[in-house]
Amino acid sequence: MKEKLSPLSSFLGWHYRSGSTAETDGEVALSPGIGYLGKMERSCGATTDGFPLPSCSSEGAAGPAPSADPTPSPAPGHTLHCVRSSAMVDVSKWPLFTLLGAQEIASIRQACIFGTSANEAIYITHDDEVFVFGLNCSNCLGTGDNQSTIQPKKLECLSGKKVLSLSYGSGPHVLLATEEGELYAWGHNGYSQLGNGTTNQGVSPVLVSANLLNKKVTEVACGSHHSMALTSEGEVYAWGYNNCGQVGSGSTANQPTPRKVSNCLQYKVVVSIACGQTSSMAVVDNGVVYGWGYNGNGQLGMGNNGNLLTPCRLAALQGYCVLQIALGYAHSLALTDEGLLYAWGANTYGQLGTGNKSNQLNPVQIMAEKERIVEIAACHSTHTSAAKTQSGQVYMWGQCRGQSIVLPHLTHFTCTDDVFACFATPSVMWRLLSMEHDDFLTVAQSLKKEFDSPETSDLKFRVDGKYIHVHKAVLKIRCDHFRSMFQSHWNEDMKEVIEIDQFSYPVYRSFLEFLYTDNVDLPPEDAIGLLDLATSYCENRLKRLCQHIIKRGITVENAFTLLSAAVRYDAEDLEEFCFKFCVNHLTEVTQTAAFWQIDGNMLKEFICRASRCGAFKN
């Protein structure tokens, strides 16, 4: 039975019902996405889930769903980037990944959670195998059928291909680009967002080739029901739903196959793209931002709320070089090369971080008094914003677990991903997480590795004739008992071998291993001996951990033995727990051998105490 003293890393969020509608409050217009706009970054992300699409009017942007798909359409898509976080990322903070075992988790190199209730997942292993699991709305898992699965299924047609970019829409539909420049699409296709010229749903990944022959796709982005692709030459192609001009063709006619976006982008080299619900944005190589499509909440930052059928430059940021943009449900963030953060668009939940809830049609600077910002985060399906500073501080604002936080709030997180895992609703990922393992060990991992190592140890304990190799420095740092032992004039300070005869080998080894790892791996019966040691050495943390292990291992047969140990070692919480267990199972417990072997005084005390609790009433 293995227990950890450190707190649990999993933070389980709540789920919305699949297909549920979102709160609008004047913000139904956009479920935008994100884009990471540095030249060296590649988009590997996704668009998620679900809100019903409004009409292209002052109330919304998307229009009714086609008759072939009468169910409410979920929220829009965005591009999540394959940008490695400098902090340790724990995928178990996303509830869906708790379905996987430790070995499966260890095999993951990249992962993305998406869906209306964060109910779909795709991950890539270190061997470049692609797996999916989850609800499978609109065949978005690409498994060839419409069945949900809690067991990961391998996508054979994509395995072995190195994934460069991944994005998803609200049907959802999914786009995936490989390092070879190939583009694959599957899932919802009611608006031809898969780019194959039809509206037939894609049950498995299919290569998109129309108008992209001899083109190498480097990045993909999905809106709610439209798609974009960026080529190695800096060209942008768009297709799918176009009711508000989000395809950038100059009209509002849907586009069934990829079409090059020109006009103001004709002679520009685009380095990154991003999609909102029914809007699109791009950044060119000089840091200038262009936007087109729906603008009902001012999310394009043009100073008005009129839609744009072709790309238009974001003039308000003239003179600034934008490195990263992040689009939330109806708001936008931009980060400049000087570390300045600007926000605009909808602000019903304080997601702009301006200190109020007023929408902004033009970019306004926020967090000006903070240190340099190095990363910003938002997600199309949430009203949550996050940012990370140069020193590693992580801030969040907007809608966080139902609360409206109107100013950036300093958190205890080490990466922006944790904000969305723990406080966004739904708990989707704002970017594709990279689980690349470093080729060096952390301090904790190094200590664990050196426990009982004859090569590096400078001290041995001999218990029951067996040796345990340790390091005096570690023992002095971790345990007051050893600090006193080795800093005084005790003879032990000069010894290379110390004999231990008051504790068993399993107990003493477990204690020393705990000092190196914070872990205890003992059955409840041996944990009693470790509780004795923890009491003798005044190790209160270990004492509490032993009590926890013992509680989880209590049975009718050992209940009185454990109760006796709790009394003997003055473990009041454990004593109360064992006493209640014995009273609740009084008939069975009094028939065990342990009951009749206890000390007479303790037996009398138990009977009196049980009587006061009414255990012997008829």
pLDDT digits (tens, 9 = 90+) for 387-410: 999 889 999 999 999 999 999 999
Burial of 47 (0-12, 13-18, 19+ CB in 10 A): buried
pLDDT digits (tens, 9 = 90+) for 503-521: 999 999 999 999 999 989 8
Overall average pLDDT of the 273-280 stretch: 87
pLDDT of residue 16 exceeding 80? no
pLDDT at residue 440 greater than cutoff 90? no
Question: Which tens digits make up the pLDDT trace of 367-387?
Answer: 999 999 999 998 888 899 999
Q: What pLDDT digit, counting tens, does each position of 322-353 carry?
A: 988 888 888 999 999 899 999 999 999 999 99
Q: Is the pTM of this model over 0.75?
A: no
Burial class (CB in 10 A: 0-12, 13-18, 19+), 618: exposed
pLDDT exceeds cutoff 70 at 90:
yes
The matching CATH number, chosen from 3.30.1050.10, 3.40.220.10, 2.30.130.10, 2.130.10.30, for 31-434 is 2.130.10.30
pLDDT of residue 492: 56
Asked whether residue 199 carries a pLDDT value surpassing 90, the answer given is yes
Q: What tens digit of pLDDT does each residue of 122-144 get? A: 999 999 999 999 999 999 999 99
443-612 has CATH 2.60.40.10 classification: no
342 token code pair: 């600007």
Q: Is 472 left (phi over 0), alpha (psi -120 to 50) or beta?
A: alpha
Residue 530 has pLDDT above 90, yes or no: yes
Ranking 113-117, 140-144, 409-413 by mean pLDDT, the lowest is 113-117
Q: What mean pLDDT do residues 566-575 have? A: 87
* Domain range list for the chain: 31-434, 443-612
Buried b (16+ CB within 10 A) or exposed e, 25-40: eebbbbbbbbbbbbee
**Burial 401-431, CB ≥16 within 10 A → b, else e:** eeeebbebbebebbbbbbbbbbbbbbbbbbb
Which of 244, 211, 251 lies closest to 225, judged by CA? Answer: 244
Q: What is the pLDDT of residue 489?
A: 56
Q: What pLDDT score does 194 carry?
A: 98
pLDDT one-digit tens code per residue, 62-83: 443 333 333 333 334 444 444 4
What sign has the CA pseudo-torsion 380, 381, 383, 388?
A: negative
Q: What is the pLDDT of residue 604?
A: 86
Residue 567 is encoded by which pair of tokens? 């009394």
What are residue 542's phi and psi, to 5 degrees? -65, -35
Cα gap 24→28, rounded to integer Å: 5
**Span 292-312, average pLDDT:** 95
* 600 vs 19: which has the higher pLDDT: 600
Is 181 in contact with 165 (CB distance < 8 Å)? Answer: no
**pLDDT value at residue 376:** 92
Which token pair is 444?
């904790």
Q: Which pLDDT does position 334 carry in this prediction?
A: 92
The letter for the amino acid at 432 is L
The confidence score (pLDDT) of residue 22 equals 33
pLDDT at 526: 83
